[in-house]
Amino acid sequence: MLSQVDLAREASHLSRFIYNFRRWKDVSFPKPVYPLVHPAVLVETYEHGESVARYVDGMEGHEWIKTRLAHIGTHALLKMLLVDNFIHADMHPGNILVRKKASRGGLFKTKKPHIVFLDVGMTAELSKNDRENLLEFFKAVALRDGRTAALRTLKLSRKQNCPNPEAFIEEVEEAFKFWGTPEGDLVHPADCMHELLEKVRRHRVNVDGNVCTVMVTTLVLEGWQRKLDPGYDVMHTLQTMVLKTDWAKSLSYTVDGLMAP
């Protein structure tokens, strides 16, 4: 909590995000105004825009913009998680501005959405081991492999105090068997994640703070993006990329390619 209110640290987070997204035309961050930076004071550039909540909660007739916003937000998170290993851990709608910029070319002028991420005081970075376990967990979820998903979950803490790991593994396997049936296939992947985290809580499975932060951030993002575009599945996109990409070598190119105009 104390690190979040150190505004000099937040300024360094902004600079790091600005560098990481320097090639992206539809994502930006406020710039810290040096030398007006201090642990108790942070002056940033003023960013014009309207809250993404306006689109989440309504805005009839703007479906293409909503779909585009869901696309941009998802791939920004994927880049943070899988390429940069530096994640904005407070991605609720109040911290996201949208502005529309006119695009040139063609017979008609259109306004493409641009996202500005605010309030980067809370971030997460994963150790090599945690990152590997989390990616393998997502792979197991994508492959409907309940046993591996449970085993990887048990490895998401250096000090695992689950009183009955076998009971946890067995219950997760049963849930995955149901999700693999035609009836279970109708359950949204994010709802499966919520149910899995409930089993984690009930069986007192330890999950390290940074890993938990990343999982919760993913679910928060998924929640408002599902409202923007019910047909766009953050979890499925994440699972597909983890399955199909050798992320250690080429994921950066994959994400950049997906975001190319």
Please give the pLDDT value at position 258.
52
Per-residue three-class SS string for the chain: CCHHHCHHHHHHHHHHHHHHCCCCCCEECCCEEEEEEECCEEEECCCCCEECHHHHCCCCCCHHHHHHHHHHHHHHHHHHHHHHCCEECCCCHHHEEEEEEEECCCCCCEEEEEEEECCCCCEECCCHHHHHHHHHHHHHHHCCCHHHHHHHHHCCCCCCCCCCHHHHHHHHHHHHHHHCCCCHHHCCHHHHHHHHHHHHHHCCCCCCHHHHHHHHHHHHHHHHHHHHCCCCCHHHHHHHHHHHCCHHHHHHHHHHHHCCC
Q: What percent of the chain is predicted at pLDDT more than 90?
A: 42
Query: Tens digit of pLDDT for each residue in 105-151?
Result: 555 556 789 999 999 999 999 988 888 888 888 888 777 788 999 99
Please give the pLDDT value at position 188.
74
**Whether the predicted pLDDT of 2 surpasses 70:** yes
Mean pLDDT for 58-87 is 86
Mean pLDDT for 203-223 is 87
pLDDT band at 246 (very low <50, low <70, confident <90, very high): low
